[in-house]
Chain A
Amino acid sequence: MAKKRRTRIDIINDILKVISDKKGRIKQTHLMYKVNLSHKLMRSYLEELISKHVIEEVKDNNNIYLIIKDKGNEFLDKCRKMKEFQDTFGL
Chain B
Amino acid sequence: MVSPFSPETVEIILSPYWFYGIDNFFDIFAVLTTLFISFYSYQLYKFSKKSNYKWFSISLLLISLAFVAKILTSVIIYYPSIAVTTLGCFSVVYRIMKQSNILFILGQLSYRFLMLTGFFGVYWLVSKSREKNKIPLMLFLLFATTILSAYAYPAFSMAMVILLSHIVYYYGVTYRKNRNRKTALILCSFALLLMSQIVFIFLFLDLSMYVASEILQSAGYLLLLYSYYLIVKKG
A residues contacting B by CB (< 8 A) are: 7, 9, 78, 81-82, 84-91
Q: Which of B40, B49, B171 is within 8 Å of A85, CB to CB?
A: B40
CB–CB A88/B48 < 8 A: no
User: From B37, which residue of chain A is reached at the shortest CB distance?
Assistant: A89
Contacts of B186 in A (CB 8 A): 88-90
A-B contact pairs, 7 of them (CB 8 A): A9-B49, A78-B47, A82-B48, A87-B178, A87-B183, A89-B126, A90-B171
For the complex, give the distance between the alpha carbons of A78 and B174 in Å: 22
Most buried by B among A7, A86, A88, A89: A89
B residues contacting A by CB (< 8 A) are: 40-41, 44, 47-50, 52-53, 56, 125-126, 170-171, 174, 178, 180, 182-183, 186, 227, 231-232
User: From A82, which residue of chain B is reached at the shortest CB distance?
Assistant: B44
Contacts A81-B231, A82-B44, A84-B182 hold; do A89 and B50 have CB atoms under 8 A apart? no
Contacts of A9 in B (CB 8 A): 47-50
Contacts of A89 in B (CB 8 A): 56, 125-126, 186
Q: Looking at the assembled complex, report how far the CB atom of B112 sits from the nearest CB atom of chain A, in whole angstroms.
A: 24
Q: Which of B49, B50, B231 is within 8 Å of A88, CB to CB?
A: B231
Contacts A9-B47, A82-B44, A85-B40 hold; do A91 and B231 have CB atoms under 8 A apart? no
For the complex, give the distance between the alpha carbons of A78 and B41 in Å: 12
CB–CB B41/A85 < 8 A: yes
For the complex, give the distance between the alpha carbons of A7 and B45 in Å: 13
For the complex, give the distance between the alpha carbons of A25 and B178 in Å: 31
Contacts of B171 in A (CB 8 A): 90
Contacts of B180 in A (CB 8 A): 87-88
